[in-house]
């Protein structure tokens, strides 16, 4: 047997060496020069980053009953590439989702990789669908916002969009506080999708949103809405607004605008119903504004309280003739009588004694023409012309509440100022919030400013009590209680600004009780009631809500205030 030639052995050795050398070189390239890039690539394949949504905080009423909360739900989607049998898949899903088979088929066969079939589906239904194990159908966690009390203070609470972002009301105003901060989880997964034990698993936990505690009293709000709905229907009004406020803290206990809607299904209502008209819509207040004229007159001693002046039923102002709501002979009236009888001419005569500068200063002092600071989205500042733009008639018409516009919230704040001894207090809808670790953070104290003295406020209160006892507001009386308040019957301006409708009115009554130690201020406003007058349409609504307030807040009668000097007989 001959030995293999040496040359062939050397050749084989060289080949093996070259092969091994090439492998080593490749290993060096892979393990050294490209190591970083390849490692990153491998990690990209194994590591998955998942965004962890923060749980949205609840909105609670003042007793911490939930008005809005979030529940876990599922978004159902399809990746049409993986759907094996579109027809049978559609037939299986359609009855569960309540979607037409035809519509489903178009989604199941779409030329894309992701289509939503349904969003925010309850866990029960999602579980039933999941159990069908249909290829191509997937599920994503998606919290659903629920308003358990339905249409209760919907314009105040607001609602969120499909992605859980607040788009109106407190949901919008406190979006960042309620939303919290999303977290992130990074995990190393095996090919089968299971986490690799001991692999990367880092979690930055989400920070849940805070729970917002608002000032609304859920039960009170319900009673207010029930009373408002009834009043709107009885008086055939177009809409209505009620606000209930604590005059000493500025807290809004109830705020309702009819018509309202169910925030669980806002799309079912007209968008106009979404507006919180108590804050966003300004109106010409009419005679309820006379309280400012009276307060300014008392504070500035524009007319001695027991002095009677001759009040006609009409007068010439510039090129216009203005007149009282009803014809009457010239009457001798005190300031108290002017307020109680809601005399337009009397208010004009008082305002003339004050002058435009003083009048404008008190209007702004009481907060007219500027937003209240409640911070509610879309709050209107109302309309108060700057003094330099006042015409001959401005002072006269503003004295009885026409020619300016205010929001119901601004107007109730004026009455709250008088009830609070002459100190304006910023209204508020939020008491505080509950953050991490169930820590309660009270909202900042409301801003205050003195507008009139305590004595002046007390005198105006006596006039308002007189208006209820003997004037235009008798329908607001409550046996056993002394109520202070004022009626308003305001004309509605034409859209082109050329004058006023002759057959459309806003009826209002704003007041508080008990007169001596006010516990609650209530504004009742009806838009275009067929019963026209504030004393007929709105005062009974005020009275109904005030009676409930007595029960709900355990309000004692308090002592009786003396009526102001007056010329009219008191029953």
* Residues within the interface to other proteins (CB under 8 A): 65-66, 69-72, 123, 146, 148-152, 195, 197-198, 201, 218-219, 221-223, 226, 479-482, 514-516, 547, 550-551, 556-560
Q: Look up residue 476 and give its DSSP letter.
A: G
Q: Which residues of 196-230 are buried (b: 16+ CB within 10 A; e: fewer)?
A: eeeeeeeeeebebbbbbbbbbbbebbbbbbebbee
Complex with other proteins: residue 164 or 346, whichever CB lies closer: 164
Query: Of all helices (H) and strands (E), which one includes residue 251?
Result: none
Complex with other proteins: residue 227 or 525, whichever CB lies closer: 227
Q: Nearest distance from residue 459's CB to other proteins, in Å?
A: 18
How far does Cα 257 stand from its chain's mean position?
A: 11
Distance CA 309, CA 53 (A): 70
Q: Nearest distance from residue 433's CB to other proteins, in Å?
A: 17
Give the residue numbers annotated as catalytic, written as ranges. Answer: 287
Question: For the chain, what is the radius of gyration of the CA atoms?
Answer: 35
Distance CA 21, CA 5 (A): 24
Tracing tokens 């999303």 back to the chain, one arrives at: 182
Complex with other proteins: residue 253 or 347, whichever CB lies closer: 253
Complex with other proteins: residue 299 or 469, whichever CB lies closer: 469
Tracing tokens 């009888």 back to the chain, one arrives at: 341
Complex with other proteins: residue 230 or 358, whichever CB lies closer: 230
HSE, side-chain direction, 13 A CA sphere, residue 410: 30
Complex with other proteins: residue 63 or 307, whichever CB lies closer: 63
Distance CA 14, CA 532 (A): 112
Q: Look up residue 43 and give its DSSP letter.
A: H
- Four-point Cα dihedral 492, 493, 495, 497, nearest 10: 180
Q: Nearest distance from residue 388's CB to other proteins, in Å?
A: 46
Distance CA 480, CA 514 (A): 10
Q: Nearest distance from residue 197's CB to other proteins, in Å?
A: 3
Q: Hey, which residues does 51 pair with through a beta bridge?
A: 184
Q: Nearest distance from residue 120's CB to other proteins, in Å?
A: 14
DSSP secondary structure of 67-79: EEEEE--EEEEE-
Q: Nearest distance from residue 67's CB to other proteins, in Å?
A: 8
């Amino acid at each position: 047997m001959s030995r293999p030639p040496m040359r062939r052995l050397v050749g084989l050795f060289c080949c093996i060496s070259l092969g091994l050398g090439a492998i080593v070189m490749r290993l060096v390239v892979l393990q050294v020069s490209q190591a970083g890039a390849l490692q990153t690539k491998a990690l990209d394949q194994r590591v998955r980053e998942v965004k962890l949504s923060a749980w949205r905080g609840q909105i609670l009423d003042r007793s911490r009953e939930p008005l809005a909360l979030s529940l876990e739900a599922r978004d159902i989607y399809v990746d049409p590439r993986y759907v094996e049998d579109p027809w049978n898949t559609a037939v299986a899903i359609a009855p569960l989702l309540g979607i037409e088979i035809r519509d489903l088929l178009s989604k199941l066969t779409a030329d894309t990789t992701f289509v939503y079939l349904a969003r925010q589906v309850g866990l029960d239904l999602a579980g039933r669908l999941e159990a069908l194990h249909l290829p191509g159908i997937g599920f994503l966690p998606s919290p659903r916002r629920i308003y358990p009390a339905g249409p209760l203070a919907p314009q105040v609470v607001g609602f969120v969009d499909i992605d859980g972002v607040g788009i109106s009301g407190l949901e919008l105003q406190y979006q960042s506080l309620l939303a919290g901060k999303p977290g992130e989880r990074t995990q190393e997964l095996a090919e089968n999708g299971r986490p690799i034990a001991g692999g990367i698993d880092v979690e930055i936990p989400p920070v849940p949103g805070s729970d917002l505690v608002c000032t609304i009293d859920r039960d009170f709000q319900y009673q207010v809405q029930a009373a408002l709905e009834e009043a709107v229907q009885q008086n055939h009004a177009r809409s209505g607004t009620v606000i209930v406020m604590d005059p000493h803290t500025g807290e809004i206990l109830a705020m309702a605008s009819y018509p309202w809607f169910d925030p669980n299904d806002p799309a079912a209502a007209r968008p106009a119903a979404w507006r919180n008209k108590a804050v966003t819509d300004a109106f010409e207040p009419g005679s309820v504004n006379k309280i400012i004229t009276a307060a300014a007159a008392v504070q500035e001693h524009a007319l001695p309280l027991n002095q009677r002046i001759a009040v006609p039923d009409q007068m010439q102002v510039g090129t216009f003739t203005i007149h009282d709501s009803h014809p009457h002979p010239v009457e001798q009236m005190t300031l108290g009588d002017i307020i109680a009888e809601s005399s337009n001419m009397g208010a004009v005569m008082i305002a003339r004694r004050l002058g435009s500068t003083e009048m404008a200063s008190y209007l702004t002092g009481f907060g007219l023409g500027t937003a209240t600071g409640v911070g509610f989205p879309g709050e209107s500042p109302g309309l108060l012309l700057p003094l330099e733009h006042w015409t001959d008639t401005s002072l006269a018409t503003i004295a009885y509440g026409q020619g300016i516009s205010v929001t119901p919230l601004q107007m109730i704040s004026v009455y709250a100022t008088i009830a609070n001894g002459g100190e304006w207090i910023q209204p508020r809808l939020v008491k505080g919030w509950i953050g991490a670790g169930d820590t309660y953070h009270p909202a900042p104290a409301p801003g205050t400013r003195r507008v009139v003295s305590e004595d002046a406020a007390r005198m105006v209160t006596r006039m308002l009590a007189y208006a209820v006892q003997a004037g235009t507001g008798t329908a607001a009386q409550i046996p056993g209680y002394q109520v202070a308040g004022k009626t308003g019957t305001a004309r509605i301006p034409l859209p082109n600004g050329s004058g006023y409708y002759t057959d459309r009115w806003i009826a209002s009554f704003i007041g508080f009780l008990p007169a001596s130690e006010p516990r609650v201020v209530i504004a009742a406003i009806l838009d275009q009631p067929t019963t026209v007058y504030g004393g007929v349409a709105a005062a009974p609504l005020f009275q109904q809500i005030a009676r409930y307030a007595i029960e709900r807040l355990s309000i004692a009668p308090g002592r009786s205030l003396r009526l102001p000097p007056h010329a009219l007989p008191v029953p």
